[in-house]
Structure 1
Amino acid sequence: MTDAAAEPTHRTDPHDGRVHAKLNWLRAAVLGANDGIVSVAALVVGVAAATTDLGAIVVAGVASVAAGAISMGLGEYVSVSSQRDTERALIAKEREELATMPEQELAELAEIYRGKGLSRETAERVAIELTEHDAIAAHLEAELHIAEADVVNPWHAAWASAASFLVGAVLPMIAILLPPPEWRIATTFIAVLVALAVTGWLSAWIGGAPRLRAVSRVVIGGA
């Protein structure tokens, strides 16, 4: 009965590859949105401080949005691709070691569990059972703290970053274009603070983190 009662709770615990993927795109999305808000606002405010010509502000803003979205997307793709390649290389190396030196790998796995507080007998038994069940998964988790299902996807990060940059850039663009010239800079500054607060709150809500801390961090940094 205890096992049956515990099973539903265990299913809802976030201990699978979906959490890793979620954190990957959430990080990229928050970074993209924050950059879209701040960088585009900084540029259009700078142009608005130099001229009241709406055409010049629009051209500068659109150029900033296009360049920023492409740059963020490509930057995330390159960065996460490097991480993915490293993870794949580590997995391949672990597979080779398991194939060529299984006894040494089994002893290494047992030693890891001994280091976590298990007795020699228990650690060896755990290592044997985990190896028999899924050797590569056991060693990746214990030695490298990764799983094959958790290898990051660079496309997810790239699209999340580029799309969130575009969304973040919309508000400062609207805020700088709609008000009369004398209110453009002040309105944009206030709009940026609001957008940053919303970004911080949404990221904390999606990630299940404390809201106030996230909002404060994003707003203070962006301001």
Structure 2
Amino acid sequence: MTDTGTDTEHHDGEPHAGGLSSKLNWLRAAVLGANDGIVSTASIVVGVAGASTSVPAIATAGVAALVGGAVSMALGEYVSVSSQSDSQKALIEKERKELADDPETELEELTRLWEARGLQRSTAERVATELTDRDALAAHLSTELGIDEDEVVSPWHAAFASAASFSVGALLPLLAILLPPDGARIPVTFVVVLLALALTGATSARIGGGSVPRATVRVVVGGAIALAATFVIGSLLGTTGVA
């Protein structure tokens, strides 16, 4: 028997929770930030280790890469998200003013938007009226602009999240190259970094709904090329006495 109750039946794999898209975007950004921290810092410390066995030199380069990269990521994210946030706030204020100045025109606009989505005129009028009675601003922001007033991005939160995820990722290769004995530093770092990249690649693919094997291979191969290139360059510079 078909359940005719008021509860909405959700299908597996079809999320309906509000704000889920925003949360997934944040999670994806955190994974990508960690991935950047892993690759960039690993490339630097492996390159330095290829040129010199000096632990202080490797540690200095690694810490500098971690701090510099985290600050750069935070600043870049802050500037980018600030522009996005300012734009969202301006659109919200503009819509609020239009609703206060000419609510009838705004109701007609909302009706036409629902008509454009395939509803009949009478149905579109009813939907627009009910949504307006419930929350006119939210109705227009969602239908017309695809914005949720409660989900305006915070540049400070974005900057902190970016710096934190990068730092966590960068810390992994730094520890991997400093903790093992001399002869094992490079091999251990390669293994740890490539395993970590495989994890971030798979996680990113699962979040985005893409192919896990393809994403994992892509990230691991790219990371391996970066590590190999910097190690070779560092070794050549060390051998020739330049470094």
Shorter-normalised TM range: 0.7 to 0.9
What aligned pairs does 1:71-220 form with structure 2 within 5 A after superposition? 71-203=72-204, 207=207, 209=209, 211-220=212-221
Does the Cα contact within 8 Å between 1:30 and 1:161 map onto a contact in 2?
no
Deviation string 1:50-101 (CA, Å, 9 cap, x unpaired) is 2122211111111111111122122222221221111111100111111122
Mapped partners of 2:43, 2:99: distance in 1: 54
Name the % identity: 61
- TM-score normalized by structure 1? 0.86
Q: 1:194 to 1:221 in 2, by over 3 A?
A: same
Does the Cα contact within 8 Å between 1:24 and 1:152 map onto a contact in 2?
no
- RMSD value over aligned CA atoms? 2.4
Q: Secondary structure at the match of 2:8?
A: helix
User: 2:30 is matched with which residue?
Assistant: 29
Q: Secondary structure at the match of 2:5?
A: helix
User: 1:61 is matched with which residue?
Assistant: 62
Mapped partners of 2:152, 2:193: distance in 1: 35
Mapped partners of 1:170, 1:116: distance in 2: 49
For structure 2, the residue ranges without an aligned partner over 5 or more in a row are 225-243
Q: 1:221 to 1:95 in 2, by over 3 A?
A: farther
In the alignment of these two chains, the number of paired residues is: 219
Deviation string 1:117-162 (CA, Å, 9 cap, x unpaired) is 1111111221122112111111111111111011112233222211
Higher Rg of the two aligned structures: 2
Mapped partners of 1:160, 1:28: distance in 2: 9
Letter matched to residue 29 of structure 1: A
- TM-score normalized by structure 2? 0.79
Mapped partners of 2:48, 2:99: distance in 1: 61
Deviation string 1:34-64 (CA, Å, 9 cap, x unpaired) is 1110000111111112212221111111111
For structure 1, the residue ranges without an aligned partner over 5 or more in a row are none
Greater helix content: 1
